[in-house]
Chain A
Amino acid sequence: MDTATEKAPASHRDKAEALVSLRGIVKIYERGGEQLKILDGLDLEIAKGSYEALMGPSGSGKSTLLNLIAGLDRPTAGSIDIGGKRIDQLNESQLARWRADTIGFIFQSYNLMPVLTAVENVELPLLLTKVPSSERRQRAQTALRVVGLEDRMDHFPRQLSGGQEQRVAIARAIVNDPALIVADEPTGDLDRKSADDILGILEQLNRELGKTIVMVTHDPAAAERAKVIRRLDKGQLK
């Protein structure tokens, strides 16, 4: 695979089933009457169970690509297949439903709801499911235990450190057992120690729970923790 720095054994890679498949992706934005081509005929496959880092200079299209994979945005052209579903053909409400079922989000700024406690923040995505209320709470508590925050369940975000907030965000991302976790600069706002903790948890989720993770990062040290590093420049994977 010439578009990525491959760290996994070739035999393992070849056998892996593609969870994410992008073909001929073009993304053009209009700004002030000018058309900006952010992604230009991009092809990408991400295997199930992979942990991939997307790197590249600012404006290279990393976040745009991540948004397309996560179903937050639509391509100008091309197809996006995630787990056998053409998400570029879904309407807004179908896409929202799909995201709830399939994607776990981790944001740079954690984006927790300040009025909710840690456990309630983690429970939030489950409100969209038919899981009974008592089970919702149990699942949220379990997710918080996975990220080592069992003693902070009833704390509000303002009572947590940045690293702890990001761990709550990770718990929220995994609570509905998504097929794919997308992380946009998950360590961007953290000190080195907290960043290492977060990257450790992501590694653990990938290794032990088999979660497929796509992470956008500027940080080479964070990217090094992924199995695959892909580099984007001027809308193309290099």
Chain B
Amino acid sequence: MTLVGLAARNVLRNKFRAALTVAGVAVAIITFLLLRTVLWAWTAAADYAAKDRVVTRHKVTFIMTLPLSYAQSVRSLPQVKASTFCNWFGGKDPKHDKEFFGSLACDTETGFTVYDDMVVPPDVLDQWKHDAQGAIVGDVIAKKMNWKVGDRVTLQTGIYPKEGDWEFRISGIYQAKSKAVDRSTFIFHWKYLNDNLPANRKDQIGWIVSRVHDPSQAAGVGVAIDKVFDEKEIQTLSQDERAFNASFLASISAVLTAINIISVVILVIMALVLGNTIAMGVRERTNEYGVLKALGFSNKHVVMFIVVEAIVIGVAGGLLGLAIGYPFIEGGLGRFLEENMGSFFPYFKIDPRMSVLAMFLAVALAAAASVIPAISAARLKTVDALKRIA
């Protein structure tokens, strides 16, 4: 028997209460992990964006287009290694009109060179290039929509109306090499889109993506690109991909901030509940602390007994939270979100650093929550503590 062992044993004094408290901590930890994972997954596209890619768009807004000639101008800059361009198609499968997935019309020759974190086998790519209506789709959306290579797919769009539906043939499936890649995107030939548009909408592109020779100079290259179009009728805004992705997040920054705050509030609530439970236990056992002090245990010992008890609860709750949280968040909810909301959550996994932080906070907050009851118990005079009846 040791002093710490004795303190730990007190946790099981009231097994039902201890179980409820541990469960409470576990729920708080799971909620914290879930909210943090939502934040992480949401910002993953920005955090894991390629460092050597610069995105150029219309200076006014993302939804306004650029002339096709701009792509050639960008490509000719010495700092640019390669560049491609795409249009947001906004397609929907009429058979699954509630399923959302990104659909892009990209330049055939350069699309997968610039977006090389979408991995397509060379023979599949070659086959796609030779099929005007061919499409490459992400593995997650393919699985979800049950699309197989060779399948014919019809999409409808409000952005590019056309007589008759847009018909495609699945040429292949890409795999993601980076956590930032949405595995639910539908990519087809820009030429197919352009050829089927009325004359007044032809040769317009949504954005240009360029790979630069020196990633450390990406921001400078962006400035150089914009300078090219400074005197033109349509000016551009170029950003490195991280900033570009982050600019999307800016529009939901209030939501992200709210999630951030809620994740902290959850832990504060956990600490308050824990503090109340510990205080209740201490109040019930005041007489015992009096006995310990009478036997010669010091005030520091009493504080240690109570804080260690709280830490044991924190550790147990934290471990239980992680044990349940991992399969729940990564296996269940995460898989569901990746499959159904891949555009928002392409990679819904717990950041290991968050697990460590959650565990640390469970222990630290449990210890902090016990400090006031512990000091109160320690300060109580021995004779007064002995008079208390449990």
- A residues contacting B by CB (< 8 A) are 67, 70, 72-73, 92-93, 96-101, 103, 105, 107, 111, 113-116, 120, 123-125, 127-128, 133, 136, 172
The answer to whether B287 touches A97, judged by C-beta atoms less than 8 angstroms apart, is no
Contact of B386 among A72, A113, A172 (CB under 8 A): A72
B16 to nearest A CB, angstroms? 15
CB neighbours of A120 from chain B (8 A): 1
Give A105's nearest chain B residue, CB to CB.
B294
Chain B CB within 10 A, most for which of A98, A100, A133 = A100
**B130 at the A interface (CB under 8 A):** no
B376 to nearest A CB, angstroms? 16
Give A169's nearest chain B residue, CB to CB.
B291
**Complex CA–CA separation, A44 to B386 (angstroms):** 25
CB proximity to A under 8 Å, residues B288-345: 288, 291-300
- Using an 8 Å CB-CB cutoff, how does the interface string of B334-367 with A read, 1 for contact, 0 for none? 0000000000000000000000000000000000
A99 to nearest B CB, angstroms? 4
Contact of B296 among A73, A100, A133 (CB under 8 A): A100
A48 to nearest B CB, angstroms? 21
**Complex CA–CA separation, A179 to B294 (angstroms):** 15
B146 to nearest A CB, angstroms? 59
CB proximity to A under 8 Å, residues B1-44: 1-3, 6, 9-10, 12-13
The answer to whether B386 touches A92, judged by C-beta atoms less than 8 angstroms apart, is no
The answer to whether B1 touches A70, judged by C-beta atoms less than 8 angstroms apart, is no
Chain B, interface size category, equals 20 to 34
Contact of B294 among A72, A92, A128, A136 (CB under 8 A): A72
Given contacts A115-B10, A115-B13, are A125 and B296 in contact (CB under 8 A)? yes
**B383 at the A interface (CB under 8 A):** yes
Chain A CB within 10 A, most for which of B2, B9, B13, B382 = B382
The answer to whether B294 touches A101, judged by C-beta atoms less than 8 angstroms apart, is no
**Complex CA–CA separation, A93 to B9 (angstroms):** 25
CB neighbours of A99 from chain B (8 A): 294-296
B15 to nearest A CB, angstroms? 11
Beyond the given pairs A113-B288, A115-B6, A124-B292, 8 more chain A to chain B contacts, judged by CB atoms under 8 angstroms and listed by A's residue number, are A70-B294, A93-B300, A100-B296, A101-B296, A111-B386, A114-B13, A123-B1, A128-B297
CB proximity to A under 8 Å, residues B243-301: 287-288, 291-300
CB neighbours of B6 from chain A (8 A): 113, 115-116, 124, 127
A107 to nearest B CB, angstroms? 7
CB neighbours of B300 from chain A (8 A): 93
A128 to nearest B CB, angstroms? 5
The answer to whether A96 touches B1, judged by C-beta atoms less than 8 angstroms apart, is no
**Complex CA–CA separation, A95 to B98 (angstroms):** 76
The answer to whether B9 touches A115, judged by C-beta atoms less than 8 angstroms apart, is yes
CB neighbours of A133 from chain B (8 A): 1
The answer to whether A115 touches B12, judged by C-beta atoms less than 8 angstroms apart, is yes
A-B contact pairs, 12 of them (CB 8 A): A72-B294, A93-B298, A96-B297, A98-B296, A113-B288, A123-B1, A124-B1, A124-B6, A125-B295, A127-B1, A127-B3, A127-B6
